[in-house]
Homo-oligomer: A and B are copies of this chain.
Amino acid sequence: MPAPPDSRRHFLRQLSLGAALAAVAGPVPAFSHPQPDPMKPADSGKLGFAIVGLGKFATQQIMPSFKDCKHARITALVSGSPDKAKQLAQEYGVAEKSIYSYDNFDSIKDNPEVDIVYIILPNSMHAEYTIRAAKAGKHVLCEKPMATSVEDCEKMIAACNKAGKKLMIAYRAHYEPFNLDAMDRIRKGELGKIKAITSDHGRPVKPTEDKADSWRVVKKMAGGGSLMDIGIYALNACRYLTGEEPVEVTAQEFSDKSDPRFKEVEDNIHFTLRFPSGVLASCTSSYSYSEVKRGRVFGDKAWLDLDPLSDYYEHNMKIGDDKGKEEPKLKEGNQFAAELDHMAECVRDNKTPKTPGEEGLKDVRYIMAIYEAAKKGKAVKV
């Protein structure tokens, strides 16, 4: 029976169901297709997640998505607001003893209901809480950008490796059906040879109107501006759509320093990535555009548009050439649920996540190179 190193609880649970059979018949069925047990509550086969940080994204996107999960459930909350945590705990059926503050977070190590810690905190706190979670013996799912420095990313990877825990970065687009379909079409050659990619990501950051944006304009918390928050979707898309890693970047940045939002972090940053195959990818990122989240792949036979490319729930694909264009009808899926389930399955099956810490580290490295290229006015090799 293939017992993942850290699935002791899970292993024991399975033993009671399949041990006898397994002993004579080999591996039990994969946990990605658990057999329903009518005697157990619906959640019993699911891995437990602690949600760290109960901001807008956590409460409005992530937590409601657990209802669509097959392998993941919420078993703990970590927050600096006890009242908010208590109310959400009731709503999501989390035991009151499984509510933690940032101070007593480390005691989560004693909570066997928590398999995975999902860190949804300001960027600069990702490293500290990932490392503390690993030390507490928990697997970690961490929001993007992974951290605000390459060094922090490396420390996070080292801490999880040392603890023998999984580390996954929450690149939701890798679990989103339209993006997955686009990757598939590109790999199959439907667009011909890929020549270029463009992607634009922008939104008006509103630190005074929207609490969720307040820390995003503080360099110490966010690490950077629009590129760290939304430009990273463009950067990451260029990588997963080509399936290549860039070798060189150029960039230009402009931020109106008379706008208090951009005293510390960048507003507009445009960057071009060169890939080994010769593909050039040009992206724009902004904290002052009217909302946009789009991408286009230019092949020598056809182009493919995703507009939006990185929305939460609404996507659109168009494929076109000289002769016309078509709009493949694809089914929307809950990318958050797929992402949470993937993390749970990786823990269960002892597999490396599709978007591990190394994926997050790469983007942070490229982001730093983009900042350097913009600052120096020079192409930077990566």
Chain A interface (Cβ < 8 Å from any Cβ of B): 191-193, 195-196, 198, 200, 202, 204, 248, 250-256, 267-268, 270, 272, 274, 278-280, 282-284, 286, 288-292, 296, 298-303, 320-322, 377-379
Q: Which of B283, B296, B377 contacts A378 (CB 8 A)?
A: B377
Across the interface, which residues of B come within 8 angstroms of A202, CB to CB?
195-196, 298
Complex formed: what's the CA distance from A255 to B278 in Å? 8
Would you call A290 and B296 a contact (CB within 8 A)?
Answer: no
Would you call B250 and A290 a contact (CB within 8 A)?
Answer: no
Q: Which of B248, B288, B378 contacts A379 (CB 8 A)?
A: B378
Complex formed: what's the CA distance from A253 to B280 in Å? 8
Would you call B268 and A290 a contact (CB within 8 A)?
Answer: no
Complex formed: what's the CA distance from A292 to B298 in Å? 9
Would you call B282 and A282 a contact (CB within 8 A)?
Answer: yes
Q: Which of B198, B248, B256, B268 contacts A200 (CB 8 A)?
A: B198
Would you call A303 and B299 a contact (CB within 8 A)?
Answer: no
Would you call B290 and A298 a contact (CB within 8 A)?
Answer: yes
A-B contact pairs, 10 of them (CB 8 A): A195-B267, A195-B286, A198-B198, A250-B377, A252-B379, A270-B272, A291-B322, A377-B378, A378-B378, A378-B379
Supplied contacts A195-B267, A198-B284, A250-B377, 18 more A-B pairs, CB within 8 Å: A195-B202, A195-B268, A196-B202, A196-B268, A196-B270, A198-B200, A198-B282, A248-B252, A253-B280, A255-B278, A268-B280, A270-B280, A270-B282, A280-B284, A286-B298, A288-B300, A289-B299, A292-B303
Say yes or no: A280-B300 contact (C-beta < 8 A), given A286-B195, A320-B290, A378-B377: no
**CB proximity of A370 to chain B, nearest CB, Å:** 12
Q: Which of B192, B250, B255 contacts A272 (CB 8 A)?
A: B250
Would you call B252 and A280 a contact (CB within 8 A)?
Answer: yes
Across the interface, which residues of B come within 8 angstroms of A322, CB to CB?
290-291
Would you call B192 and A290 a contact (CB within 8 A)?
Answer: yes
Complex formed: what's the CA distance from A277 to B307 in Å? 28
